[in-house]
Structures are given as C-alpha cells and as structure tokens.
Amino acid sequence: MSDLVRFGIAIDGELLERFDERIGEKGYANRSEAIRDLIRADLLERSADPNAPTTATLTLVYDHHVRELTEKLTEMQHGLGHHVVSTLHVHLDHDHCLEVIVLRGPAGVIEKAAHRIVATKGVIHGRLTLTGPLAHALDPAHHHEHGPHTHTHDHDDE
C-alpha cells in the first residue's frame, strides 16, 4: 500500500452538508473513507484496456422538448449497430424522459460512444456503468446451459 497523501478541496457548504448526511446514512466514520470509495468506484468503471470486451448500461435523463434531440439519440444508437443490445424508455413527466441503453463491445468503443451521447445538448444527466469483461460471452467456443437452450464455451482458464 502506498503512503497516504493529504489534500484539500473547496466545496459548497450546502453540498458538503448533504454529503455528510449521505455518508452518515451509509455508515462511514469519516469523509476520507467515503471520498476514497467514490474515487475507487469511479476508477473501476473505466476499463484499463480499451479493447476489453464489456457490457455496460448507459442511463440518460433528457428533455424531450429540445429540438431534434430524440432523433439525434436514436441516430447515435443506430450508428452503434450491434453494440446496442436493448433500450428502455420511460416518460418521467411532461418534459423529461429516462432512457437506459444496454451496450456490449470493446470498452473503448462503448466509453467513447457514451461520452458523445451524454454530451449531446438536452441530455440533463448521463451515467455509464461498465459491468466487466465478457471474454467468454464473445468466444463462440464457450458453453453454458440457460434453461431450454445451450451455449458452448471452453473453460481452459477456469
């Protein structure tokens, strides 16, 4: 383990109060451990290998009244082709929609596409969550039984 490093951050007082309440609810003894966990979680969500196969969810909240936004989002998803596995669309209220997009492919491709989608004007919030490598799922020699159907896989490394 490396040496601990102290650093200071500037933060809005109200935001800090809310953070303290939240970490208290989660049972943290101090801010340092909560911030370390936030940093660890953020670093884990990014793949070290841009070519590593991954599955991810991209969750978006957007204002569907923004001109041509829904068309742009649909066009971006179509541009990703087979990397888009599924989408879920929910109307939150008169102005806002929630969309969850399940993606699969090389981590670098997924991350780049997600960042481009989240940066689109009208997207209020976006979060990409990488699930992890799926080397076996992308290997046609891999085998698992799933109910009435079977998939073939090699488990030499397991």
Q: Give the per-residue pLDDT at 47.
A: 64
pTM equals 0.63
3-class DSSP state of 20: helix
3-class DSSP state of 48: coil
CA 114/CA 103 separation, integer angstroms? 9
pLDDT at 64 over 80: yes
CA 105/CA 138 separation, integer angstroms? 9
pLDDT, tens digit, 9 for 90 and up, residues 106-157: 999 999 999 999 999 999 999 998 876 544 344 444 444 444 544 444 444 4
Q: Give the whole-number percent of the chain exceeding pLDDT 90.
A: 64
Contact 123, 117 (CB under 8 A): yes
